[in-house]
Structure 1
Amino acid sequence: MIYHLLRYFSNFLSETLHFYAYQYVMFRAVMAILTSLAIALVIGPRIIRWLMRKKIGDRPEFHHAALNELTKEKANTPTMGGLIILCSASLSTLMWAELGNPFVQKALFVLLWFGILGGIDDWLKLTATARQRGRDGLHAWEKLIFQIAGAVLIASFLYFDFENIPDAKLLWVPFYKKGLMLANWTFIFIAIFYISATSNAVNLADGMDGLAAGCVAIMSLVLAFLCYVASETMARTTPVTWASYLLLPHIPAAGELSIFFAAILGAVLGFLWFNCYPAQTFMGDVGSLPLGAAMGYGALVTRNELLLLVIGGVFVIELMSVVLQVGYFKYTRGKRLFRCAPLHHHFHLAGWSEPQVVVRFWLMAAAFAALALATLKLR
């Protein structure tokens, strides 16, 4: 909205009073960070008070007695704090992004679709006692159906957006200069898999104060950079793009997504103000599902699906720890590979304090992000 207002009013200013900064994606991305951070800090206390009045508090329950004992003090902490992130990121994007951009439109759709799905799941969990239903919320198959449905819609729209973009039809591999040709059905399959998997990966990591939010902040920063270099030129006076210089796929108009991920970065940082140890609120599925899906969407648009496995290395490890734990438990008929899964609970039970686990996982996330950025130059 601000972007469009500035563009409209600039037509009525004299040549000496023209304000050009709003035309630059980088300027608007920085403003999106500050705006979403400010919004989160303002609305955060109000949303938390509303959640407490509604008594929307979580009661962490694990299939592990020792872990339940360690987390018993979290019983009255309100969940669904992800509403702070969704509201802040959406408002900031609407204010600073070019709303006619198709990639921005779909990004907002991802937040809306997966946010509603996560909100329904949270609500079913929190009202389980009154409805005499299990505390698992939506059944796994119910959640997966809606995740796949949202992913199919996004994949279909992206397929048509990419129709006239040669680089978008390729699979780009880290350390390799050229993309690999993809069949049409392969792109659709990868898109569905990535959006569904990434939404679940962030959800699994959302088990400690600040853990998922801090790692998402680091990923958002990297994805904002990748979106910028995918379409922006190196200077106004030259047509050379950063993508051609770094041998990355050139996706015209993807630069506007930098503003979307910058808005998420600011919103997550604002949420961390209330979610750092000891947390005043938890993210809940209403925050973790759309944030994870947004990360997968960013990788799809910039054609960095494989690089996302490096950028989000912490989430990949968390997801794989659950897969390995379940598989090993079934194969050995009752034995455990880890003390508890996801992996952060394993270290918590091993004697690490919760802040130690969180900060060390943040450091791992930063290391994975640095490694991912290093691969760009090594092409």
Structure 2
Amino acid sequence: MLYYLFNYLDSLDLPGAGVFRYVSFRAAMSILLSLIISTVIGRRIIDKLQLMQIGETVRNLGLEGQLSKKGTPTMGGVIIIVAIICPVLLLARLENIYIILMLVTTIWLGALGFLDDYIKVFKKDKEGLHGRFKIVAQVGLGLIVGLTLYLSPSVIVRENTEIRNADDVIEQVTYTVDGVKSTQTTIPFFKNNNLDYESFVSFLGEYSTPAAWVLFVIVVIFIVTAVSNGANLTDGLDGLAAGSSAIIGVTLGILAYVSGHVEFASYLNIMFIPGSEELVVFAAAFIGATVGFLWYNAFPAQVFMGDTGSLTLGGIIGVFAVIIHKELLLPILCGVFFVESISVMLQVFYFKFTKKKYGEGRRIFKMTPLHHHFQKTGNAGIQALIQKPFNPVPESKIVVRFWIIGIILAAITLITLKMR
């Protein structure tokens, strides 16, 4: 809204009003505003949650310091959602299709997570919203995002073409004059940095293009579901999900900026996506909201984000990556989320397999998701993984180490754009 106001004032030759045309300025304002909202308004929301006695229910699982968390206010993800939406509404160009999709994603998954937390807290049902309803909602969002990217005339890319010399060295990267609808995406490590989904269905001949979009929508649904659930599983230690998401948000903001800037896109030999630079304003709000939330969520946490926050953070990350055609970088960038999810799947599979084969279930890890493995004393089910018992690692140390791993993975993600 402020963008349009100052754009109008600039047309009246008001000195300084034109600064709002620059994404960099609005992004800086966005991160500052989201930080202020999440820290100042966040305190009032926490007080309100405490007054309403919306506290975390804790089961005794033998984890160090676990019982001290009992009664800590939950549903704090509302702080993150408000701190994202307000700066974006004020500072972004609201007619931008990508901004619209990100706002829909934030509200959609925020409402889903809020409903889940509401059932847990007020209905005293520890299982919360049934899993099938969560999946249906996540699939629904994936369909909305995928079909919008397919059908909207505003969603176009200018594909990059390499001009090489006799020694097969790239001399220049050019772009198509007109924007086109494309099912291409960025793929790391390979010489040609693009992968076209249509190549998987080329055997369908004249039907390959519509089939490629069907495949694309399926991929979007999978990514939205996987990343939002991955963030949800990661939200088990004070500051872990919020800090990891902030690191990912910085990386996505950089990728959005270079994808929307023709010179940087040419240098990195990636697709030029007109309009994607506006997502930097959203990414800045996302970073400010998660960092500001850490003010209260860092160990020892004064508030938990609950599913209201974790499902929303994961969904935002997934949809953001899809929009800028960087979804295949997510296994690296979201490596912490990925490993947390894999640890749960491996644990469940191995437990069921050994129970069927030996009559008793055995475990790979002492407890999953993986971060809880380091909180428990003793060996895991598979002695080869942990050769000797060890003392539980302090929660704050586990979180910081996971953050460090997240920073390394973020750096690798950016480096992959030139490692091919």
The answer to whether the Cα contact below 8 Å between 2:38 and 2:80 also exists between their aligned partners in 1 is yes
Measured against aligned partners, the alpha-carbon deviations of 1:148-170 in whole angstroms (never above 9, x if no partner) come to 11111111111123764364411
Aligned to 2:280: 258
Q: What is the SS of the residue equivalent to 1:180?
A: strand
Aligned residues: 363
Alpha-carbon offset, residue 53 of structure 1: 1.0
2:8 is aligned with 1:8: yes
Aligned to 1:181: 196
In structure 2, distance between residues paired with 1:61 and 1:20: 55
Q: What is the SS of the residue equivalent to 2:416?
A: helix
Aligned to 1:66: 62
Q: What is the SS of the residue equivalent to 1:34?
A: helix
The answer to whether the Cα contact below 8 Å between 2:31 and 2:288 also exists between their aligned partners in 1 is yes
Aligned to 1:46: 44
Q: What is the SS of the residue equivalent to 1:66?
A: coil
Aligned with residue 142 of structure 1, among 133, 138, 144: 133
In structure 1, distance between residues paired with 2:417 and 2:144: 30
Q: Write 1 or 2 for the structure with the bigger share of helix.
A: 1
Aligned with residue 355 of structure 1, among 378, 383, 396: 396
Q: What is the SS of the residue equivalent to 1:98?
A: coil
In structure 2, distance between residues paired with 1:42 and 1:123: 24
The answer to whether the Cα contact below 8 Å between 2:74 and 2:304 also exists between their aligned partners in 1 is yes
**Structure 2 residue runs without a partner (length 5+):** 160-181, 198-211, 356-360, 378-391
What residue identity is the alignment partner of 1:143? K
2:193 is aligned with 1:198: no
Alpha-carbon offset, residue 45 of structure 1: 0.9
2:314 is aligned with 1:292: yes
How much is the aligned-residue C-alpha RMSD, in angstroms? 1.4
Measured against aligned partners, the alpha-carbon deviations of 1:108-148 in whole angstroms (never above 9, x if no partner) come to 0000000000000001011233xxxx410011112111111
Q: What is the SS of the residue equivalent to 2:406?
A: helix
In structure 2, distance between residues paired with 1:181 and 1:279: 44
Aligned to 2:372: 345
Aligned with residue 362 of structure 2, among 321, 335, 341: 335
Alpha-carbon offset, residue 18 of structure 1: 4.5
What pairs with 1:15-54 in structure 2 (closer than 5 Å)? 17-54=15-52
Aligned to 1:304: 326
Aligned to 1:94: 89
- Look at both structures and tell me which one has the larger radius of gyration over its CA atoms: 2
In structure 1, distance between residues paired with 2:351 and 2:232: 22
Q: What is the SS of the residue equivalent to 1:336?
A: coil
Alpha-carbon offset, residue 60 of structure 1: 2.4
In structure 1, distance between residues paired with 2:302 and 2:193: 47
In structure 2, distance between residues paired with 1:341 and 1:97: 40
What pairs with 1:233-244 in structure 2 (closer than 5 Å)? 233=262, 241-244=263-266
In structure 2, distance between residues paired with 1:27 and 1:336: 52
In structure 2, distance between residues paired with 1:142 and 1:83: 21
Instruction: State percent identity of aligned pairs.
Output: 42
Measured against aligned partners, the alpha-carbon deviations of 1:273-324 in whole angstroms (never above 9, x if no partner) come to 0001111000101011111000001110111111111111111111111111
Normalised TM-score (structure 1): 0.93
In structure 1, distance between residues paired with 2:185 and 2:352: 35
What residue identity is the alignment partner of 2:217? I
In structure 1, distance between residues paired with 2:249 and 2:56: 27
Normalised TM-score (structure 2): 0.84
2:160 is aligned with 1:169: no
Q: What is the SS of the residue equivalent to 2:417?
A: helix
